[in-house]
Amino acid sequence: MNDNVTAEVTQLDIEGMTCASCVARVERALSKLPGVTEANVNFATHQATVTHAHEVTPEIMGEAVDKAGYVAKPISNIHAGHSPDEHAAHMAAETAEQVKAMRLNLFLATALTVPTFLISMFWHPRPEVVNWLLFALATPVIFYFGRQFYASTWRSLKHLSTTMDTLVAMGTSAAWAYSVYGLIRYAGHSHMQSEHIYFETGAVIVCLILLGKYLEASAKTRMSSAIQQLMGLVPTTATRINCDGKEEVVPLDLLKPGDRLRLRPGERVAVDGIVIDGDTYIDESMLTGEPLAARKTAGEAVTGGTVNQNGSVTYEAKSVGADTMLAQIVKMVQRAQGSKAPMQKLADRVSAVFVPLVILVAILTAGISLASGLGFDQALIRAVAVLVTACPCALGLATPTALMVGTGRGAELGILVKDGEALERAGSVTTVLLDKTGTITEGKPRVTDVVALREESEDRVLQLAASLENLSEHPVARAVVLAAEERKLALLPADDFTAIEGTGVKGAVEGKRLLIASPKYSAESVATQSPEVIAQVLILRQAGKTTFILSDDQGPLGGLAVADVVGKNSREAVEKLHAMGIATIMVTGDNAATAAVIAKQVGIETVEAGVLPDGKAKIVAKYQASGGVAMVGDGINDAPALAQADLGIAMGSGTHIAMETAGITILRSDLRGVPLSISLSKATLSTIRWNLFWAFAYNVVMIPLAAVGLLSPMLAAGAMAFSSVSVIANSLRLKRFAM
């Protein structure tokens, strides 16, 4: 495909897949299409993610999948224009219906299988009529309640392929056919007839596999609980204000950018927007992790799904439907859950040849058994056991189930993992490069020190400074005003305001001429300069803080120090990284002195200071020579470095560019998310490795046992069902992950 052509990504729901070999077949069918650059199929979600050129339509992809023996439905066509969370809700409802139908099917099959099993096991000898009763009980179990195995086998045979269902169909039908032969061959000889009846074998096999699939489907609903929780944050309606000022309650899908919306106490914000009137406090803990509500006034952003606490505001819709932050988060979680980890390639290669190999082993088992004089009954039983015990399902579920639960748990913790590859890279990180501003620090200036002179109090100095700075929009001015508000100091009337570019501001407060400026400018502009101020300012500057002098016509009244303060959890985060054996390095554009002060506060020993944004990528490359490197930044200014790193971790706001550039996005402005995300990645990778180990070990042990007659077909069916369920259960342990 031409590199200049923008690639598109389409998701398809795939129906008819029964094992990991089906996954390989669908991927192969899609990958062969001209214009398709990548096709990933997830056995746990039964979805395909296809990267392709514009001319490859969903219809073309659907035809390719159909020729492979399966059915594909484009997700975008199912709910065109709807957000990912709406599609997830639809899929959840469909899954619930499927689980309900599977439960009923299992119940009816069990009702017929239990008497079949009990009669076969404990009624010896039995009349011929009872054997015909077993036929009547078992036949509907095998061919009606187990019809899915035969339907799938028939579809596969039409395309000259085999699946897990082929093994089940061959095993159960062989046991049933031989039993029917025994009924007819030994009619009138009930004792001999009973010795050749194995109806219970086919019925119990079907029943146990149906039980396994039901437990598997039930467990899968728990795996997607993270998306369900995210969906629960979205209200179904919003209060829209019409042009005439009247309010009406409307469904979310009727909203469009520019609509004015009313938000009342206790309601959830419907969509992303900007407050245009009112004052309130909004609980944003789902994004930021902060327990305290954030104050929202005119001009400030609100995010869909967050909870309004006590005020009423009017806000303008900016992003609706699939464009909201919450929808993007759901989309990212779904994409991660539908991706593949590189270590799955081995399982895929094995699964592709697994079923034909098992059929060959079963035929050889029957042949060797007959040749050794065991008789046809024993040869059949051993062959059926081999067919039934083989389980490529566990291999197919090993990686995607762990990815689904791991990434879902990450979403609950405010950690968004882009895909399985990012997860695997996170597990191999040995060095973490940390941007300073907004990563180690809060990213916004705060007043840290107030120095009072000439018998003025600190509060008076801060009050005068804030009253003047209130007329400025500069971030430092906002910090001074915020500090005064936190001390509950009333702002005084100010006028004759003038901003001095790059230096400070001047004006009048209560008729008194004031100047707030850098020490150098103050020394040049004010007649009297205090040695005491100079000494204290020097100390503050050595601590890496920006200092200002508040002066009137007689000289300095006091000083203020402003700094981008270290995040309250940054030191703990660095300590946790060190405890994990991961080296930490600060990378910043600040001067070496300021950087060294911040680094010392959090326990970082190595600092790369004075680095421009385009130079950060070179710093990343420098450290990559000694191992896996993660770069932690804000996802915008640090985009080149995030892309260069083995793993990019974007902090804070979770902007769209952060999600696209970084392998992991940490929504909460808490640096502890970095060691948490790496620890979660390692836990998920460990789960995948154990899943694969047990899936391989199961087949390596069970197939030989079945071949030599140490495993009956019924026990084999139970073990096969258990292997898939155990893999899912092991993956579900990640739901309890905590560092």
The yes-or-no verdict on residue 672 having pLDDT over 50 is yes
Give residues with Cβ within 8 angstroms of 739, minimum separation 6: 576, 675, 676, 679, 680
* The token pair that represents 477 in the structure block: 């001015």
Of residues 534 and 712, more confidently modeled = 712
d(CA 351, CA 164): 10
Structural domain total, the chain: 5
Q: Is residue 351 part of a domain?
A: yes
Q: Is residue 332 part of a domain?
A: no
Residues 94 and 149 in one domain: yes
Identity of the amino acid at 59: E
**pLDDT for residue 179:** 93
d(CA 356, CA 341): 26
Q: Is residue 628 part of a domain?
A: yes
Q: Is residue 333 part of a domain?
A: no
Residue pair 631/664 in contact by the 8 Å Cβ criterion: no
Q: Other CB atoms closer than 10 Å to residue 231's CB: what's the count?
A: 20
**pLDDT for residue 11:** 85
- Tokens 């039964």 correspond to 46
**pLDDT (average), residues 431-450:** 87
Residue 4 confidence class, pLDDT cut points 50, 70, 90? very low
The vertex-259 CA angle with 258 and 265, nearest 5°, equals 125
Q: Name the domain boundary from 566, 585, 606.
A: 566
**pLDDT for residue 690:** 93
Q: Is residue 3 part of a domain?
A: no
Q: Is residue 410 part of a domain?
A: no
CATH number at residue 621: 3.40.50.1000
Residues 96 and 182 in one domain: yes
Pairing assessment for the beta strands 47-52 and 36-42 based on DSSP bridges: antiparallel
Residue pair 427/579 in contact by the 8 Å Cβ criterion: no
Helix locations, 390-445, DSSP H:
392-412, 420-426
- Tokens 């990686």 correspond to 399
**pLDDT for residue 3:** 45
d(CA 202, CA 472): 82
Separation of CA 107 from chain center = 35
**pLDDT (average), residues 276-295:** 80
**pLDDT for residue 654:** 46
Of residues 466 and 718, more confidently modeled = 466
**pLDDT (average), residues 581-593:** 88
Residues 279 and 249 in one domain: yes
Q: Other CB atoms closer than 10 Å to residue 422's CB: what's the count?
A: 23
* The token pair that represents 172 in the structure block: 């159960």
Q: Name the domain boundary from 32, 52, 78.
A: 78
d(CA 266, CA 269): 10
**pLDDT for residue 226:** 65
**pLDDT (average), residues 9-21:** 84
**pLDDT (average), residues 202-217:** 87
- Tokens 């199961």 correspond to 698
**pLDDT for residue 80:** 35
Of residues 482 and 638, more confidently modeled = 482
Q: Other CB atoms closer than 10 Å to residue 373's CB: what's the count?
A: 7
**pLDDT (average), residues 509-518:** 88
Average the pLDDT over each of 255-264, 649-658, 692-701 and give the range with the smallest value.
Answer: 649-658
Tell me, letter by letter, the H, E, C secondary structure of 521-543.
HHHHHCCCCCHHHHHHHHHHHHC
Residues 583 and 507 in one domain: no
The yes-or-no verdict on residue 178 having pLDDT over 50 is yes
* The token pair that represents 458 in the structure block: 């600190």
Q: Which helix (H) or strand (E) holds 173?
A: helix 164-185
Name residue 74's beta-bridge partners: 12
Q: Is residue 550 part of a domain?
A: yes
**pLDDT for residue 534:** 67
d(CA 659, CA 635): 8
d(CA 563, CA 408): 37
CATH number at residue 260: 2.70.150.10
**pLDDT (average), residues 620-647:** 85
Residue pair 554/567 in contact by the 8 Å Cβ criterion: no
- Taking only the tens place, the pLDDT of each residue in 219-275 is 777 766 666 777 777 888 999 999 888 999 999 889 999 999 999 999 999 999 999
Question: Which whole-number Å values give the CA distances from 72 to 28, 83, 217, in the listed order?
Answer: 14, 20, 20
The yes-or-no verdict on residue 122 having pLDDT over 80 is yes
Q: How many CA atoms lie less than 13 Å away from 501 in the CB half-sphere?
A: 0
Residue pair 338/408 in contact by the 8 Å Cβ criterion: no
Residue pair 343/692 in contact by the 8 Å Cβ criterion: yes
The yes-or-no verdict on residue 657 having pLDDT over 60 is no
Select, from the ranges 198-207, 347-356, 638-647, the one with the highest average predicted confidence (pLDDT). 198-207
Residue 59 confidence class, pLDDT cut points 50, 70, 90? very high
Average the pLDDT over each of 219-223, 548-552, 700-704 and give the range with the smallest value.
Answer: 219-223
The radius of gyration of the chain's CA atoms, rounded to the nearest angstrom, is 34
* The token pair that represents 676 in the structure block: 């948490």
Residue 77 confidence class, pLDDT cut points 50, 70, 90? very low
**Strand, helix or coil at 250?**
strand
The yes-or-no verdict on residue 516 having pLDDT over 70 is yes
Name residue 499's beta-bridge partners: 505
**pLDDT (average), residues 469-489:** 88
**pLDDT (average), residues 113-117:** 95
Residues 102 and 197 in one domain: yes
CATH number at residue 534: 3.40.1110.10
Q: Residue 64: which domain range?
A: 8-78
**pLDDT (average), residues 341-357:** 79
d(CA 466, CA 482): 8
- Tokens 């070179």 correspond to 618
Q: Is residue 587 part of a domain?
A: yes
The yes-or-no verdict on residue 205 having pLDDT over 70 is yes
Residues 627 and 576 in one domain: yes
Task: End-to-end CA distance of the chain: give it in Å, rounded.
Answer: 44
Residues 690 and 661 in one domain: no
Residues 658 and 637 in one domain: yes
Residue 314 confidence class, pLDDT cut points 50, 70, 90? very high
**pLDDT for residue 138:** 97
Which residues are designated catalytic? Answer: 435
Residues 453 and 554 in one domain: yes
The yes-or-no verdict on residue 502 having pLDDT over 70 is no
Residues 490 and 580 in one domain: no
Mean pLDDT (the chain) is 85
Q: Name the domain boundary from 298, 325, 352.
A: 325
Q: 188 φ, ψ to 5°?
A: 90, -10
d(CA 102, CA 206): 13
- Tokens 């500090």 correspond to 483
**pLDDT for residue 79:** 35
**pLDDT for residue 327:** 82
DSSP character string of 31-46: HTSTTEEEEEEETTTT
Residue pair 403/341 in contact by the 8 Å Cβ criterion: yes
Residue 444 confidence class, pLDDT cut points 50, 70, 90? confident
Percentages helix, strand, coil for the chain (3-state, rounded to 5) are 55, 20, 25
- Tokens 């509907």 correspond to 140
Residue 395 confidence class, pLDDT cut points 50, 70, 90? confident
Residue 412 confidence class, pLDDT cut points 50, 70, 90? confident
Residues 196 and 255 in one domain: no
The yes-or-no verdict on residue 1 having pLDDT over 60 is no
**pLDDT for residue 683:** 95
Which of 40, 90, 33, 83 has its CA nearest to residue 59? Answer: 33
Average the pLDDT over each of 393-402, 552-561, 626-635 and give the range with the smallest value.
Answer: 393-402
Residues 516 and 654 in one domain: no
